[in-house]
Structure 1
């Protein structure tokens, strides 16, 4: 009996150890469809109206450049319909650009991971999965990223193997995985439907999950249907139909990683959520804690009686059953929902509740005629009219970017103040301001909201001239140009694929006075058409106009 308990303790300890890394276990054979970059419209067109339980994960990069509200609404609709929205870095910078240097892992996290997560959370998304740009990864970067985004995907490619022979892209319940590897469905790799069918059959026969990825999904009539980083919609539908015919399950990326044979289970969702308006600026939430093993609770809110763009506004520690939300707008409807969490595992959401703050007392008049004036590239002066005679002072609030709503108090002034200068701002950023008067715990309504962009004074930079291109041996291209400026910090080189293309992508940057660049990208292919352009830049964010565009056939 003593030996039995020793063995049981060892088994329990091993189970705990395994939980510290992400274990993937297959309960039902299936397929993980993932798509990278920013093609939200194409993804939405293909997946949003499906009714066949197909699931996919979309790893999005350059979130800050997405069009609003169109692309955000497309992603939110996909998420609401059960698809996963993951992170693909801040601006598609790969680990390779950090030279895989283990001493730069935190730099990568600080510039490519944390800002991307913050941008997504500002729009009501809470990513847990990360796809390495260009598949560039190593274990040092895995360890640095995993505390923020625990579910990691990279790419695998072996030109000498059929998909069904690539053990790396399959996983099952017999192993623990720190990262999942996927193979591409893009045209550039030439995978036929027949080859992909054999790969799906292997997953079925071996009780495995296969991970696949792509980029663009074009209708057959599109002129880009056969471009390198695309798959035809008809071909993708064939693949999906084959998988369904084999009885394979479609997993989101997180779902595939979360299958742990019961070792990891999410906490139970909180119940009986209620919201009570306490004043014109405060709401109290109460709920029943239905779980016994949560780390805490995450509180989410959106503004408006029918809003859907929830964002996290606070957390409560384990066993908490109440939360007070302050600094709200008077006489305004808000919706709330909460969920329990333990580490990176989240419960489902509670019910959603709606309440409205009380009207502001009429005894305290709101300030009027708020204006904002840029004094420099880092300073803005606010002026307003003090319409009340009995305030304690004013609360000045600010948020970043046009149309933002997540205001925070940046300054509390005394009574009778009608001016404030906000310093230490970032050049070329848009700021929004609003103010209100207060007396004790009583607040006036808000003033009007003002927007302003602080700009960096700049000296014009002359554009590079006479750009030429020469094809070199080994599928390389050498660019030459005339440096027409004398005040640049350097040059940026851009390229796009196909004759007449306009979707240029950044290739690299060069120091001041450079007059040539060699494109030795391994993706350059004989028979393809490419277009190049160059521009000068300064460190303050100023750019010249582009050079002439040069086109060539490899």
Structure 2
């Protein structure tokens, strides 16, 4: 009987330690970092594959319209994923989600925009576990439903906000286990200067937080993508990366900030 009692107390002790450790892990500060997400396919970004790898940069690509991608794009996705980049979910047709649900219902949205693309990606060896709302359009109902299938959801702050990034507390976070978070765009169209972005990175360092930024296409040699201003210049992007490294910021993926352990 004494032996059984001893085993019970040992088991109870180990259980308590495990629970405390799990609690500590879930609230463990991420440390100063940067979460860079891309809302377009990987093709224009593959050009920077070597640069990203050399600088230990990890991006999260929110993939849209996967069913329309060529095999060459999927090969690039796998090569980037092997370097530590994340392939995430951005819907099958990139609709305004709130309008879609109002017109067709949330079940239709989940079936066509979410499950169909997830199944296609999984068949090709991808496993999207994080999600970004197209246009940032979202509802509480969608949040609840999507979090049944994804570890985190990214929303966006309105580009009209008359604030500098460093003053947008919503795009900064300190702890792991993030389920809902915001990003702010740094494409050319958003008129964010390098000085403003550098200031945002410095705040991340000084406050020991992670800042969430997003962009779309990469403009190589200063050429806009198909006449679109939804792009970031290659030189500017590289300067942002090198500044983040200079400040000692860690590059996180969306999956990493939605996990409990780091």
Q: Does the alignment reach a TM-score above 0.5?
A: yes
Partner of 2:3: none
Aligned CA distance change for structure 1 residues 72 and 177 (closer, same or farther; 3 Å): closer
Contact (CA 8 Å) 1:32, 1:253: kept in 2 or not?
A: yes
Q: Which residue of 2 is the match for residue 57 of structure 1?
A: 60
Contact persistence 2:33–2:249 (CA under 8 A): yes
Residue equivalent to 1:172: 174
Q: Does structure 1 retain, via aligned residues, the 8 Å contact 2:62–2:132?
A: yes
Shift in Å, 1:57 = 0.6
Aligned partner of 2:185 in structure 1 is: 184
Once the two structures are superposed, the pairs formed by residues 210-229 of structure 1 within 5 Å of their partners are 210-224=211-225, 227-229=228-230
Aligned partner of 2:46 in structure 1 is 44
Which of 15, 33, 38 is matched with 1:35 structurally? Answer: 38
Q: Which has the higher contact order (CA 8 A, sep 6+)?
A: 2
The answer on whether the counterparts of 2:156 and 2:183 sit within 8 Å (CA) in structure 1 is yes
User: Any idea what SS the aligned residue of 1:46 has?
Assistant: helix
Shift of 1:257: 2.0
Question: 2:98 aligns to what?
Answer: 96
SS of the residue aligned with 1:42? Answer: coil
RMSD: 2.7
Tell me how far apart the structure 1 counterparts of residues 66 and 254 of structure 2 sit (CA, whole Å): 19
CA contact (8 A) 2:30 2:210 kept: no
**Match of 2:252?**
251
TM-score (norm 1): 0.41
Shift of 1:47: 2.9
Residue in structure 2 matching 1:80, options 74, 79, 82: 82
| 1:139 and 2:140 aligned | yes
**Retained in 2: the 8 A contact 1:214–1:229?**
yes
Give the direction of change, closer, same or farther, for the CA distance of 1:154–1:44 in structure 2 (3 Å limit).
Answer: same
The structure richer in helix per residue is 2
Q: Is the 8 A contact 1:219 1:225 kept in 2?
A: no
Whether the 8 Å contact between 2:151 and 2:258 is mirrored in structure 1 is: no
Aligned to 1:239: 240
**CA positional deviation for 1:160:** 1.2
Q: 1:140 to 1:95 in 2, by over 3 A?
A: same
What's the CA shift for 1:201? 0.7
Deviation, structure 1 residue 152 = 1.1
Instruction: Give the 3 Å change call, closer, same or farther, for CA 196–78 of structure 1 in structure 2.
Output: same
Q: Equivalent residue of 1:247, what SS?
A: coil
Distance 1:176 1:250 in 2: 16
> Using the alignment, how far apart are the partners of 1:219 and 1:160 within structure 2?
29
CA contact (8 A) 1:100 1:137 kept: no
- Matching residue of 1:376: none
Work out the CA distance in 1 between the residues paired with 2:93 and 2:80. 22
Using the TM superposition, give the Cα deviation of residue 239 of structure 1 relative to its aligned residue in structure 2, in angstroms: 0.6
Identify the residue that residue 71 of structure 1 maps to in structure 2: 73
Task: Find the residue that maps to 2:126 and give its secondary structure.
Answer: coil
Gapped regions of structure 2 (runs ≥ 5): 1-11
Normalising by structure 2, report the TM-score: 0.84
CA positional deviation for 1:90: 1.2
Kindly state the Cα deviation for residue 100 of structure 1 after the two structures are TM-superposed.
5.6
Moved over 6 A (4+): none
| 8 Å Cα contact 1:24/1:171 also seen in 2 | no
Q: Distance in 2 between matches of 1:188 and 1:24?
A: 36
Contact 1:25 1:257 in 2 (8 A): no
The alpha-carbon distance between structure 1 residues 47 and 62, as it changes in their structure 2 partners (threshold 3 A), is same
Matches within 5 A, 1:355-370: none
Conservation of the 8 A alpha-carbon contact between 2:88 and 2:131: yes
CA contact (8 A) 1:83 1:252 kept: yes
Deviation, structure 1 residue 155: 0.7
Which residue pairs with 2:153 in the alignment? 152
Any idea what SS the aligned residue of 2:251 has?
Answer: strand
Deviation at 1:199, TM superposition (A): 0.5
Query: In the alignment, is the contact (CA less than 8 A) between 2:222 and 2:234 conserved in 1?
Result: no
Give the conservation status (yes or no) of the 8 Å contact 2:40–2:64: yes
Aligned residues of 1:48 and 1:81 also touching (Cα < 8 A): no
